[in-house]
Amino acid sequence: MLERLVHTSKELIPSNLSMMTIYVRGDWIKIGNALVDRASGGWMAFYRTLGEAKASFQDPAGDFGGLLGGTSGAEKPFAIAVPSVVVPRWNVVLYPAGLGFWRHVSLESIDTYEFDPRLFPEDTPLEV
Q: What is the pLDDT of residues 21-58, one digit of tens each?
A: 889 888 988 888 788 888 888 888 887 776 776 666 55
- Given a cut of 70, whether residue 73 has pLDDT beyond it is no
Rounded to the nearest 5 degrees, what angle is found at the Cα of 52, between the Cα atoms of 83 and 72?
100
- Given a cut of 70, whether residue 109 has pLDDT beyond it is yes
pLDDT of residue 29: 87
For the chain, the first-to-last Cα distance in angstroms comes to 21
* Separation between Cα atoms, residue 113 and residue 74, nearest integer Å: 34
Are 66 and 75 spatial neighbours (Cβ–Cβ below 8 Å)? no
Q: What's the whole-model pTM score?
A: 0.60
Q: What is the pLDDT of residues 80-106, one digit of tens each?
A: 888 877 777 777 888 888 878 888 999
Which of 28, 26, 27 lies closest to 46, judged by CA?
A: 28
pLDDT of residue 53: 66
Average pLDDT for residues 5-17, to the nearest whole number? 80
pLDDT of residue 36: 85
